[in-house]
Amino acid sequence: MNEQPLVSVIIPNYNYASTIGECIRAAKNQTYPAVEVIVADDASTDDSVAIARALDVTVLQVPVNSGVSTARNLGARHAKGEVLFFVDSDVALDPDAVERAVDHLREEPRLGAICGMYRAEPMFPDSLVKRYRAIQQYVWFCEVEGAIPGLHSALFAIKKETFLEIGEFNDRLRWTEEQDYGFRLNARYEVKAVPTIRGRHDHDGTMRVMLTKVFNRTRLGAPNWLRLNKLPGGAGTGYRALGSAFLLAAVITLVSSVLLGPWALLAAAVLTGISIGLDKRTYGYAYRHHGILFGLQFTVLHLLVTLTSAVAASIGILQGLLFPRMTQRLYRVENPA
């Protein structure tokens, strides 16, 4: 790799007019001197394209909305850089993010990709759900520092030659494209996540959108985790998966209290307590850094997310066991073994 290779910052976008300006300005305001910024717009219907063009960056457009993989692939095809830095349009990079990523790729020749992590504060802290999600993902990302089995596709750098070798993102996948790419990449290279490459993410602002994403990603990811016998880390760690199972059992026990009587209420409380204890790091961070009131609000939201994950994983695993061929065809992830 050249001493100071050109870095192409590729920003896939679909209807993120509220954040794309902040994202582009952060990408242009890097300490690293050789950067081109490419916005790959996936047929947005808002003002995203106009905002991007006003900020004097290259704007590419997908004619028909086709998903983030299509946008990322379009940006990569037109990139002139020796290094590709993919960042989602709702993430604002720290000023030294590109410089640190290039350093890692230069110092570790066999490194397939270097992934960054979100900060504990959202880009715009204008809702409780955003603040919750920022803390949740910050804690989880920090636990998977070092080699990871997957990929943090919202903020990662990869040599262009490596990207061409592995191939493009699978544009048939809408919820599990990063899992697919991460497993393919890990089959040949090491992928790392480091806390020194940071960005502020504008997390989902409503409960409905957040839970929908959690449900879909977990349901579609679970059969792949089962088939590959490998959890992705973060939310998908062994003890968190077990905690989700305990919480689901608590809800089932609570519903059955009509038949089982008051002992079921006590059992549900105990099961919920075990679930919280298994994920004590996440809860503990909220209480330590933001106080009791926020901690209680955080607890309610996190229990809802954990329960949603448990239900989604159960459905996904059943689909994988009962319809393995159909699941593999619909949600293909290449086996790195």
With contact defined as beta carbons under 8 Å apart, do 235 and 305 qualify?
Answer: no
Q: How confident is the model at residue 233 (pLDDT cuts 50, 70, 90)?
A: low
Q: What is the 3-state secondary structure (H, E, C) of 247-304?
A: HHHHHHHHHCHHHHCHHHHHHHHHHHHHHHHHCHHHHHHHHHHHHHHHHHHHHHHHHH
pTM of the model: 0.85
pLDDT above 60 for 333: no
Give the number of other CB atoms < 10 A from CB of residue 194.
15
Mean of pLDDT over the chain: 89
The rounded percent of the chain whose pLDDT value lies above 90 is 71
Q: What is the mean pLDDT of residues 53-68?
A: 96
10: β partners? 38, 86
The rounded distance, in Å, linking the Cα atoms of 27 and 12 is 13
Q: How confident is the model at residue 322 (pLDDT cuts 50, 70, 90)?
A: confident
7: β partners? 35, 83
Is the CA virtual torsion 37, 40, 43, 44 positive or negative? Answer: negative
> For 225, what's the count of Cα atoms within 13 Å in the CB-facing half-sphere?
22
Which tens digits make up the pLDDT trace of 31-51? Answer: 999 999 999 999 999 999 999
Which tens digits make up the pLDDT trace of 73-127? Answer: 999 999 999 999 999 999 999 999 999 999 999 999 889 999 999 999 999 999 9
pLDDT above 70 for 328: no
What six digits make up the tokens of 180? 């697919």
pLDDT above 50 for 336: no
Q: How confident is the model at residue 179 (pLDDT cuts 50, 70, 90)?
A: confident
The predicted pLDDT at position 321 comes to 77
The rounded distance, in Å, linking the Cα atoms of 213 and 312 is 11
The rounded distance, in Å, linking the Cα atoms of 131 and 62 is 32
The rounded distance, in Å, linking the Cα atoms of 77 and 10 is 10
pLDDT above 70 for 65: yes
What six digits make up the tokens of 265? 């209420």
Residues of the chain with CATH 3.90.550.10: 7-203
The rounded distance, in Å, linking the Cα atoms of 214 and 70 is 22
- DSSP-assigned letters across all residues of 193-240: EEEEEEEEE----SHHHHHHHHHHHHHHHHHHHHHHT---BTTBSHHH
Q: What is the mean pLDDT of residues 227-237?
A: 57
Decide: residue 33, CB within 10 A, 0-12 exposed, 13-18 middle, 19+ buried.
Answer: exposed
The rounded percent of the chain whose pLDDT value lies above 70 is 91
153 vs 325, which has greater pLDDT?
A: 153
Is residue 44 helix, strand or coil?
Answer: coil
Single-letter amino acid code for the residue at 260: L
Q: How confident is the model at residue 149 (pLDDT cuts 50, 70, 90)?
A: confident
Is residue 27 helix, strand or coil?
Answer: helix
- DSSP-assigned letters across all residues of 9-25: EEEEESS-HHHHHHHHH
Is the CA virtual torsion 179, 180, 183, 186 positive or negative? Answer: negative
Calculate the CA dihedral of residues 313, 315, 317, 320 and round it to 10 degrees: -140
The rounded distance, in Å, linking the Cα atoms of 292 and 304 is 19
Which tens digits make up the pLDDT trace of 282-308? Answer: 999 999 999 999 999 999 999 999 999
- Per CATH, the homologous superfamily of domain 7-203 is Spore Coat Polysaccharide Biosynthesis Protein SpsA; Chain A (3.90.550.10)
